[in-house]
Every structure is written in structure tokens, then in C-alpha cells.
Structure 1
């Protein structure tokens, strides 16, 4: 065993050390209590700019307040950064100049500059605004930063700041031209002509001085009053400003009203709900390039991107049109109205030029999917089709003011919302990016105009690549060893062998030290919330810095979930799952089983990290102690298993996943002595949706179910998520009917609990109310709806958690024991 493995094993054994005496069994009251009794996880770790200390945030017990901690790596002292010490503290996400003599960061919304040789700290701004995105100029003489969509420049030597560019979404007040009557006035009256000539001369004189005099504020750019500025990005050399715009008059869909019944005022109150899918497609975005030196502006059209004129939804549109025609034909084959409607609808909604947007929508006022090289001479932009089928990376030809396509990622299902990282290497000319084109997220590099090369390859995922300060390596997070095991790896900048840096197995995120010699690793275990360690890259020595667990929590013993591979009867890949079983399991008798279904759809819950569903995991311990076995599956649609696993649900949500859950039940019958007549299912959000699909479409397999905050009809969910997977209900009603549980409600046979927060602004409470009414009208028996007046999608009140899980426990006890 090498030094890296030994060091990491010691660290993990330290986390898993058994208590001297076993604690009593977990109770529902304890499992659903405020998680402060467990100990808060470490959050937001980052390095000091000199690499001598590490900062992190930690929630106070009994309070929502987070304290900023600083650990001195010299003496190991962990101290809370109080207000006085905060004045000299570093902020997160620091950036360095090219020579690495200075660093800049944002702290409490203000920009700071640190001289690395002396440690001197300079506060660049002190305003009520939220400054963001600091970056050094290409020559290192100034610091640039953003406020909203406006950019500012701070001259380091002169300690003077001001706007780098002024951009206004309004008409140029000086550009108004006289109409016919005004032209006559100028033709008739020489005095008016002289006054106008004098004004024009003064304006020209002022513009010439403004362009040539660096001490003056820049002239404003006017983009017109028909656009909204979505984001901006300034080139490090100060020459260019890229502006992302959208139509100001873009029509927004109807919003419903969310009702609050339990309020401080004593009166019912309302708030706006989100708009439903297909009711407000994202506004198309356009790009404008501003030449700050010549004070000129150029539109960057997307019309030359490869595939921009394709219609990837043509087959879907035709399938739905055929069904419509068939339905009309059954009503009246000779109907003149039906024929006229079919002719009218033929070709309707077919796109001519596909609308696009920047990959990250720049909601915070930033540029979104925009990457400048450090010298400002190269610009790459990620562009995504609003129909979700294409993602492009384009560079900008500044001489001709046009986009040049460098990479097209296309998918007949949808482009992943993850794995879109990209940027420039240290040479300022090599573009790197992450792509799923091989079927798994991998790292690529290319010279603009040249051929791309894969720097990593295999049946695993890579994410969050970070170039090393010396430009020799990419560091990244990967599950190369096993789908459920994550660590830091590195690969040479030119590609080659993927080298493992850490052996923590439950890595959540990492930060590379300023000198590139160490990583700060946020990692966790099945029952260990996120903790902070520092790992030396050369040699792999692990230094654990935190253990925030309480003594009461550490005193307990837990059932370690076993990760198993469930054979699939539909695809070649196995279905990875967490299996909970008693240590003294008696295989001579039949046992009841519960399947837990994770939420989000595209997330991963089968891993060696502390789960998002930590309360549910404690509940699984309780169930196992009562004689159950529990299976928690990463069904198709889950993250971590490649593109095909993700997109299997395209236009058929709830179908491949249900096949996987049924395979899980069969595996339990064969391997865990499970009584097939006593199998229950539960989950929240997407897990609640899948619980409904299981209870409605496979009632012979699942005898009882608890659907928590479930989607019951996908036409009622949001656009950003749903349109990726099901297109829109206007274009693809077949997919929505195929995927919505309310369409299958007549299949319910067993007892069903529906639980939902009544002020849920994600999956709306009316989703469950509408299903409840549907079940009433279908004359179904043994179903109930529990509403929680003071909770949203993610419950925050321990009372609600406890009541919900008492109901789930009662359901299973009454029907599966």
C-alpha cells in the first residue's frame, strides 16, 4: 500500500472510529430533529492568497448565522474571524495577476487588492453596491471589476478608479435626425444652420478629447430602447466589451398566485408563482461587441453556427401532428373543418433560424458563458439553442466582427445543464472544454481552427477542471475508480495518464493552493458531514483540519449502506444502489422491503459521501432495526453514469426509472429474502413523482407508497427543467401525457400518502390538490393528503419533518409488517 493510501486510510478510520458503548436505537423524533444535533458541515472552503491558511464557513448551532473560520496551517489554530480580524482577511475566489505578484478578491461586496510580497491589503471599493468578477488587466497595471452590468477600472499605481465603459439601453439623444419639417427649417434659416454646426463641432471636439485623454470618463454607448442588457464582459486588455441583450418587450406568460394561510398578519396572503412550462420560453439573446478604443459597436450574429438552421424537432412535431390528425379522423373522417385545421396547422411552429442564449443566462448581470484569454486577445463564448438540442463554443474574429464556430455538441434528447466548463490555457491560444460527446463528460483541448484532442477518456465523468499555476496540469474531480467514488485527479496539459491525487473516496469539492502544491478537499462519508482536509500533491499526505460532529452524534452506531450492482433487464449497465440490511439478518424468513427514490431525477445518491437525504438515511436505520430491508437506487436519469443513462427518460419520464425500480424489487426477492407481497416505496419531489408512477403503473409490485411534494402533471412544472426532457406541452403533448402521473391515476390499488408543503414555490401545492381531486372522482380508496402550511419544497421546520415521517412510518407499519 503506497503512502497516499495509508494516509487516507488513517484519516477515514479516524472518521469511522466506533464508540466505546453503543447508543440506543435512533427514534423518529431524533432523526427528524433540527440537524444541529449532528454538527454543521463545513462550507465554502478557500485558500488565503499566500497559501498559509485556509478559510471556511460554519453554521452556528441554533442559529442561521454562518461564521467565517480561519485555520493557520503553521500551528493548526482554528479561529473565528471576528469583525476586527475581518478587515485584514482574504476573500474567496481570489484572482492573480500574470506575474503572481498581486491578488484580488471580493469580500462583503467590495473589491480588495493584496500585494503578495509585502502582504499589504488595499481596499479598492467601499460602496453599498455588490462588486463582482475582479480581474487584472493584461499588462497588470489595473484592476477591473463589475457592478451589475457596468465595468470599472482601477489604476493600481495612481489609486484612481472609474468606469471602463458606459452602456445604456436607450436611444442616443444626439442621434435624432430632423423630419421633413426640420429639414425645411434648416434649409430656410441660416441662423439655425449655424447653431447646429456649432453644436456638432463642440460634440466632435469633446469626443476627440474623450478618446485621446485617459483622464476623462469614456463616452457612453447607446444600444437602443428595445433591448434589455442581460450581462457584460470586459476584455483584460481593456479594448473590448461584450454585451448580452434580449428583447425588452418579450412576452411573459401568465403567473398564478400562491396562497399563504398561516401568516404573521392573521390574514391570508398571496405571492406570485413561477410561470409554467411552455408559457414563457426563455427570451432569445443577442451579442453586441463594443470596440472601446474606436467607440464602435458590432452585432455578433449566430447565423453562421453549424446546424443553426436545422430542425431537430421535426420528427417530434410530425409524430404529434399525425396523432392529432388520427384523433380528428376518428371524430369525423369527412369533416371539412378537420381537414382545414390540418392544412392550417401543417408546418406551424417550424423554426426558421433557431433562437439561442448564452449557456449561463447571466442572471447576476455577468457575462455567463464567456471566457477571455489572459491577454484579452482571444474570446470564447458558449451558446445554447433554446430548443436544448445544441451547444456551441465559438470564438470571435475581431477584425471582421463575427463568430467562428469551434465546437458543436448536439444531442437528440437534450444538452446537459452540467459539464459545460471551458476556458483558455496559459498560452492564451489553446481552448479547453468539457464535453459529453463520447457518452461521458471528458476534457478536450484545441487550437481555434484546429482539431480537438481528448485529454481524458473512459467510461467515467470529469468535472471542475482547474489549470495549475505553472500551466503544466489540469486538476479535476472524477469518479474514474468507480461511479460512486469521487476524488481529485490530474492530467498533463497535453493529455496522457489520469493520475490520482487524493484517496478520500467521498470528495465533494476541492480548491488548488496558490502555488499548486496542495489541495484543500471538502470530503465526507456516509455518516460524516462535509469536513476539510489538506492533501499534499507530491506524496499524498493527508491533514484533516476539522471534525464538526457533536459528541452525541459520534456516540451512535449506524448501519453502513452496502453499494450493490442490480442487474438490469433492459440495458447492459447495472443499476447501482445502496442496500441497507441488519448485521444479524435472518435469511430464513421473509422480510418487508422499502424502496427509497431520490429526488431531482438528475442527481446521484449512490456514493460514498454524506447524503443530501441524511434524515432519510437515519429513517432507513430505524426501518432496518424493525425488520425491513431498504434499497436506494440510482435509476436511469441519475447523474454520474454517462449521457445515455441520463437521456433514457427523454419524452418518457417515469418509464425507464420504473423498470429499474421493479428490477430492484426482483433483486431483493432473490438476494435479501424479501416477501414480494410486502414492498413499499417513497420519495420526495422527483422521488414523489416516481412513487406515484410506481403506485399507478405497477400496483402489483408496490403495495404502499408515500409521495412527498410530487410532480403530478408535468405541464404544471417550470420551463427550465421540463422543456429539456419533454420539450414543451404545446409542441409535444404526447410526451407530457406519457409522463404525467395524473394520466395513470386510475391504476391506484394500494394505500397512498401524499404530503406537500403548502407554500412550495418549486413543485406547487396545487399539483397534489389536483391529483387529490382526480382520485376522488375516480372513487379511489385509502389515500390521504397531508399539507404543511409553513413549509416550501425543502422543509425547514422539524415539526413538519416529524409529522411527515410519522405518517410514512405508520403507512408502512400498517401495510407491510
Structure 2
């Protein structure tokens, strides 16, 4: 489409004047760190098809407003139109659940449940209450709708309009019956009834009422008392006989880290309660089952689950160390060998997931240490489980389509086989397993990852997103239900986010390249079909600069592994020039790819550095996503190990292949990248002359449980992993110039982290460091003024210490 500013082409001299005024010119930190919506443009996001396939909805901000708005556009193209608030109120929610034949859609909106007929587009309101209803599902062989309200399960019959409460969960414990239990009290009660007729009459009336209430109670669900537990994930079996639910038990009160907020509207310092630290007690989970026919509840057990009693492999190291040496003369010593008590690991259940015919169900069960993931068949009648697949990793279970919950799972149409993703081969691929025979089959294979997988609506075809052609490219594929060759649909290098139209004949695509932000396209669902662009989001000012398409290279690490990276080179190289290595955050994230980076500010900063003569290397170090299990878990029990040596090997590559001076290499990054920067400056001081560590983890024992426990285990069980992985323990090794930047209201990596490290540097009498604090910023900076200040300091650090022709190297602050 033609964006509105292109209409000025007809204005001749006027447009020339405006275009000249909007030239970006030489890059500066002040220019590139402005509010991106005001000068770069705002890419379309949250792309969704209307249920009739005639409209594409997306979030967009061409007006440079404070936030995005909802827009609509026909797939044939045209001018995008902003959707009014009144119209938005009438639209169905984009998320929801479809029935098996894709004739109806259930969704929640503003706390109520709605049912949409996809053929007539008629919407029925299922609930209209002040309470919030959630988790709408098709139930009872899709003849009813189930939902949760106030912690209980209800069903609604579309044919009759009848609502039935299916569960009666109550907090606390069951109240006492009122009958005396003490022998003396029983005697006195019997005596009173024997003596007084009036009391006998009242007693008979009370018992009659109790009988009547008991008869009525048979028509209502069983009262289930939860004690201190809470309930969620309520599910009704397709035949209505069972209700399954997840019981959670929060740990006893744990100490929570507090972040003070100094710059507040009230003028008073306000404390922000954030989180516990790694190793704190965690929530306990159980799967409950209510047998409606038997009016009985059960809690599922897992004692027979294969491997549940296996202890993590790393503990063997500590067990060997803990063994006391035997006396020299063992003949006089009798050693009693006792078999250690079996310790069962705790688990989290997900599901159940019912087959289309309603006759089979399976669960996904994960150990709380994330070292095992089981897929089991469930028989609710006997409360028995049958192992179908066990995925074990001495490090931790994760990867595309797997995650930290149930992962990407489902039933095939035959109601006999389950599909799921697994890293069994070293890469995340698609598998099936037969619930009867236990036979497992890999549907995809190879040294690439299946990032996303979904079945077509007729359930005959797979649609996959995978990096099959190159680790830094993602393409959309089609594959037969039973596996086979992958047919590549998209062809241009870059990255794709694909949304299928309801009839699956057309694709709505968010597509980008490394130097072109995301735009909205459509194409026919055919291999190699032409992509038609629907939006134009970037501004003339952004487009006036020739943004580099960084080369994606690979090199060999010292242990022989392949490491991928983005390389930015100056237009005119200089012998023995300076270089900067950028370390992306998150650890498990990919940035050496061929699409528009989430680190777009850093991308523009790297262009600025290249303009100033720097070579920039952006490495997907060990622990990054996109490269399979071994790279993902390469940091297990030693963060600052292979992930750091990958940076050192990158520095060597810069000197040996690209003519960089080994005395002029800097490093910087935020969050995990800040952590690596600290480890580099403290443990590799002869490799890195200067470093900027932003919002850095300085001591992993102070970070959260969910992330850290997977990689380093608990600090009280694996103290060695924490000792060798925490920069604060190596601060004495600092030689080069170090800049540290941190938001004071960071609720992720707390400001306390950098304060503790600062005190350590003070006590070590280190002088060549500087700390810049940002009073209003959380972990991810928001204010352009903060971004500008931070990157001006980073640039000054590198220019002062690395750039040829600058003044003699000084401290990080240039003092």
C-alpha cells in the first residue's frame, strides 16, 4: 500500500523540502535513542483474521500516538482503517476455543462468556454477571459449555439455557456435625432426651430436617473442603462422570525482596514487594479427581512413575566429597551399610487432555526440578497412569514447543495417538505415541528446530515454522499428517510470523529482514507464492540512512562447537582498529539471525559504532536458542563458562581474521549480557579493555527461582555452581575500564545486586569503575532520556579507551 506521506510526492518542491528536513544524517546517540514511534515508525503487531476471513485486524500506530490502536484491512489491500472503540466492543475476542468441526467459537470478554456461531456470525451471551467467568470449554461431547466462576465449575446447555453447578469447593475444613464426641457429653445428652419430652420433639424435628437436606444434597455437587489449598484448572470429562482439578498449596510465608521506589507522585519513598530468591520454598501441586457417580474424591499418586526416585546426577559429585576416609586398618572396623531412604521428587501435573471420542485422556507431568517430563495415559476410573514417554535431561527440560508447562501437545484425529515435541534427538522435533501399543514415531528429524507446529482445521496437514534452511532463518512449511517431506511455503530470507486465514487458503504474515522492521503482508498458501505488502510503517527519516544488513557468520569455539554471530564492519577498514562485542540478554534467546531484532536500539548503535570505525560482533553464545539442546544447556552449572569462552573466541576471531587490535576490544550487554560483561572484565582482563555492564546479575544466589534453579540447581544443594558462576566472587580481577548502569526500581534484577558489587569494588580499592543509576527505570528502560544517557556513557567509554586517535585511556567516566 501507499502510506499517507507518499501522497506528498505530487507536491513537488514541498515534499522535497520536507524530505530534506527529515534526513537522518550522521548517526548520534541522541537521534537513535528517541522514542521509536516518533521517528522510526511502529510496526504492525497482534495480527488476527476475522472469523469470516474477510478482514485482517492488527495493532498499529501510524499516528505516533502514545500507544498502538486497533486497525482493520481487507486482505486484498487498501487503506488501513482505525477501528473505533464502539466497533471494538462488538467484535469477538481474538483468543478462544473452537469446537471440533470449527462451527462454533467460545471466548471470554470483559469477564463474561460468549458463544459465536461461525456460519451465521450470531453471538450468544452465555453469562452476564458481576463475577468473572473464565476458562470456557466445550463440554459433555460438545453439547454444553463449561466455565469457572468463583473457583467452581458450571455448565450451560445452549439448547435449554439451563445452568448447572458441577462442583462445590469451599475454603477451610468441614464443620463439625454438632453431635457430642466426649463420653460424658454423650451420657448427659441421652439423659436429657430421656427426661424431657419437649427436647425429644425438637431433636426429632432436627433429624427430619437433616434427612430432608441430605435428600436435597444428592441433587447438588459434593461439598469439597480445600483447607489452605486453592483450586484451578477445573475440567469435566466428556461423559460428565469426572471432574479433575489442580490443587495448589502455597509455601509458608517466605521473605520477599523489597525494591524502594524513590521518585514517586506522593513524595514519599514507596516499597515494591517483588519476589523470593532462588532456593525459596515453592508451590506444591496435586491433581484431584471427583468421581461424580461415586460422590468421592481422590488425589492422584505418582509413586510408580519411572524415574521419580532418581536423584539429579550432579548430587553424585557432592556425595563422593562427603564420604569420610576409611581408617588405615579396616579389619577392626565394622561398617553397617544401610540403604538410603528413597526420596521421591515433587511434580506438577498438566491436563488431562481428552481425545475427540472422549474415551481416552493423557497427562503431562513435570518434575519440579525440570529434569523430567512424562506423558502418561490416565484412567480416571482406577486413578491409574500408564507411561507413554519419558523425557529426561541431566541439565533441564525446555526447548521450542516444550517450555516449562505442558508444551505443544494434542490428539491426532484417530483418538489413538498423541502428538508432542521433544528434544530426544538433540533438537526439538514432532513425535507421536500410540496410547495402546506405546509405539513412538518421529514425524520430523534433522539438525534444526521445529519452533511452532499446528494441525490444519481438517486435521490432515501439519503447518510448521522451522529453521531448516539456516539457524538464522525461519520459514513456514506444510507436512502430511503422518510425516514426510516438508514443503516450504515462504522463500525470502528473513523471519516470518504466520497467521492462517479461516479457510487456510491465505496467509497473513509479519515479515522482516535484519535491516527492515516488521511489516504486514499476505500471500496465497502455496509454495513460493508472491507476497503482497499491506503496510508501510517506517518514516522517511529512518529510511534516509543506509542501515547495514549484518553478515551472519559462524566460527569454531575452542571446544569445536559452531558459534553463530552477527558481524558489523566499518565501510573503510583500518588495520589494528577497535572492536566491540555485544552480548544479548535473556541467555536463552537468539540474535544472530536474519530478521529485525528485538534489540533494535542496539542494532542502530552498532551501525553508529561501525560508522566510527569499530568492528562489532554480536554472538549467539552457549545457552542461546535456535541451535538445539546441547547449545541450550551448554551453561548448565557454570554460567560464565562456555558462554564466556565463546566471547573470548570471538575476540580471537576479530584479531586473526578481521584485523582488529587485541588491545582495543570492548564488550557490553544488558541483563544476562551485563552478567557476561562483568565475568569478562573480571576473569579475562587481558582480552577486554573496557566493558559496559547494564542491569547485571552480579550474584546468582540473589536471582529468582524459576530461571536460576534450572541452570544452577538450588544454592544449598549445589554451592559450587553458584560460587563459580557469580561475578561478585571475581571482582578482584578487574583491570580495564568498567561502566555499570542500573535502574533503581528494577523488579527483575534488583538494584541491590549492583549495590553489593559496588561495595565489593570499594573494599577491593578498585578505581577504574563507574556506576550510573536511573531512578525511574525498571529492568527494561522506557524513557528516551534514560536510553540516551546510558548510551552516551557507553559510547564515551569505548571512544575513550578503544578508539585510535582519542586521548590516552582513562577510567569509565573519563575522569
Q: Fold-level match, TM-score > 0.5? A: yes
Q: Are 2:49 and 2:55, in contact at CA under 8 Å, matched by a contact in 1?
A: yes
Partner residue in 1 for 2:576: 590
TM-score, reference length from structure 2: 0.88
- Residue of structure 1 aligned with 2:369, choices 387, 410, 424: 387
- Residue of structure 2 aligned with 1:317, choices 315, 318, 321: 315
SS of 1:560 mapped into structure 2? coil
Partner residue in 2 for 1:80: 82
Partner residue in 2 for 1:356: 347
Q: Are 1:320 and 1:734, in contact at CA under 8 Å, matched by a contact in 2?
A: no
Q: Does 2:439 align with 1:451? A: yes
SS of 2:706 mapped into structure 1? helix
Q: Give the RMSD, CA atoms, in angstroms.
A: 2.7
1:369: how far off? Answer: 5.2
Per-residue CA deviation, residues 385-416 of structure 1 (Å, 9 max, x unaligned), is 11221111222112212222221110011111
Larger displacement relative to structure 2 (696-705 or 535-544): 535-544
Gaps of 5+ in 2: 1-17, 195-199, 328-334, 403-407, 804-815
The verdict on how the C-alpha distance between 1:578 and 1:127 changes in structure 2, with shifts beyond 3 A counting, is farther
SS of 1:485 mapped into structure 2? coil
Q: Are 2:371 and 2:393, in contact at CA under 8 Å, matched by a contact in 1?
A: yes
Distance in 1 between residues matched to 2:585 and 2:160, nearest whole Å:
54
Distance in 1 between residues matched to 2:132 and 2:494, nearest whole Å:
34
Partner residue in 1 for 2:245: 243
- Residue of structure 2 aligned with 1:105, choices 104, 107, 117: 107
Partner residue in 1 for 2:3: none
1:72: how far off? Answer: 2.4
- Residue of structure 2 aligned with 1:372, choices 327, 350, 354: 354
Larger displacement relative to structure 2 (639-648 or 400-409): 400-409
Larger displacement relative to structure 2 (29-38 or 57-66): 57-66
Partner residue in 2 for 1:145: 147
The verdict on how the C-alpha distance between 1:127 and 1:791 changes in structure 2, with shifts beyond 3 A counting, is farther
Q: Are 1:71 and 1:78, in contact at CA under 8 Å, matched by a contact in 2?
A: yes
1:221: how far off? Answer: 3.5
- Residue of structure 1 aligned with 2:506, choices 509, 513, 518: 518
- Residue of structure 2 aligned with 1:569, choices 558, 577, 581: 558
Structure with greater Cα Rg? 2
1:689: how far off? Answer: 0.2
The verdict on how the C-alpha distance between 1:533 and 1:152 changes in structure 2, with shifts beyond 3 A counting, is farther
Q: Are 1:52 and 1:74, in contact at CA under 8 Å, matched by a contact in 2?
A: no
SS of 1:244 mapped into structure 2? strand
Distance in 2 between residues matched to 1:148 and 1:607, nearest whole Å:
46
Per-residue CA deviation, residues 263-294 of structure 1 (Å, 9 max, x unaligned), is 111122212131110123x2221110123454
The verdict on how the C-alpha distance between 1:73 and 1:485 changes in structure 2, with shifts beyond 3 A counting, is same
Per-residue CA deviation, residues 99-137 of structure 1 (Å, 9 max, x unaligned), is 332222333443322222322222333445544433323
Distance in 1 between residues matched to 2:582 and 2:351, nearest whole Å:
36
Partner residue in 2 for 1:14: none
Q: Are 1:286 and 1:357, in contact at CA under 8 Å, matched by a contact in 2?
A: yes
Per-residue CA deviation, residues 619-672 of structure 1 (Å, 9 max, x unaligned), is 001100000010000001000111111111111111101111111111111221
Per-residue CA deviation, residues 586-627 of structure 1 (Å, 9 max, x unaligned), is 35x221000000001111111122111100110001100000
Partner residue in 2 for 1:788: 774
1:196: how far off? Answer: 5.8
Distance in 2 between residues matched to 1:351 and 1:25, nearest whole Å:
67
Q: Does 2:273 align with 1:272? A: yes
Q: Are 1:92 and 1:106, in contact at CA under 8 Å, matched by a contact in 2?
A: no
The verdict on how the C-alpha distance between 1:48 and 1:154 changes in structure 2, with shifts beyond 3 A counting, is farther
Q: Are 1:252 and 1:279, in contact at CA under 8 Å, matched by a contact in 2?
A: no
Q: Any residues of structure 2 matched to 1:405-424 within 5 Å, and which?
A: 405-416=387-398, 418-420=400-402, 421-424=408-411
Distance in 2 between residues matched to 1:237 and 1:804, nearest whole Å:
61
Q: Any residues of structure 2 matched to 1:181-260 within 5 Å, and which?
A: 181=183, 184=187, 189=193, 191=200, 194-195=204-205, 197-208=207-218, 210=219, 218-248=220-250, 250-260=251-261
Partner residue in 2 for 1:580: 568
Distance in 1 between residues matched to 2:79 and 2:124, nearest whole Å:
26
Q: Are 2:375 and 2:390, in contact at CA under 8 Å, matched by a contact in 1?
A: yes
1:228: how far off? Answer: 2.3
The verdict on how the C-alpha distance between 1:175 and 1:471 changes in structure 2, with shifts beyond 3 A counting, is farther
Distance in 2 between residues matched to 1:442 and 1:745, nearest whole Å:
42
The verdict on how the C-alpha distance between 1:78 and 1:155 changes in structure 2, with shifts beyond 3 A counting, is farther
How many pairs were matched up?
759
SS of 2:167 mapped into structure 1? strand
Partner residue in 2 for 1:66: 68
Partner residue in 2 for 1:15: none
Distance in 2 between residues matched to 1:561 and 1:40, nearest whole Å:
22
Distance in 1 between residues matched to 2:530 and 2:643, nearest whole Å:
42
Larger displacement relative to structure 2 (120-129 or 756-765): 120-129
Distance in 2 between residues matched to 1:136 and 1:797, nearest whole Å:
45
1:199: how far off? Answer: 3.8
Larger displacement relative to structure 2 (141-150 or 751-760): 141-150
SS of 2:290 mapped into structure 1? strand
Gaps of 5+ in 1: 1-18, 211-217, 335-342, 359-367
Distance in 2 between residues matched to 1:126 and 1:305, nearest whole Å:
44
1:762: how far off? Answer: 0.4
The verdict on how the C-alpha distance between 1:141 and 1:279 changes in structure 2, with shifts beyond 3 A counting, is closer
SS of 1:310 mapped into structure 2? coil
SS of 1:775 mapped into structure 2? helix
Distance in 2 between residues matched to 1:255 and 1:87, nearest whole Å:
40
Q: Are 1:58 and 1:67, in contact at CA under 8 Å, matched by a contact in 2?
A: yes
Per-residue CA deviation, residues 666-687 of structure 1 (Å, 9 max, x unaligned), is 1111221101110000000000
The verdict on how the C-alpha distance between 1:258 and 1:90 changes in structure 2, with shifts beyond 3 A counting, is same
- Residue of structure 2 aligned with 1:434, choices 399, 413, 421: 421
The verdict on how the C-alpha distance between 1:246 and 1:98 changes in structure 2, with shifts beyond 3 A counting, is closer
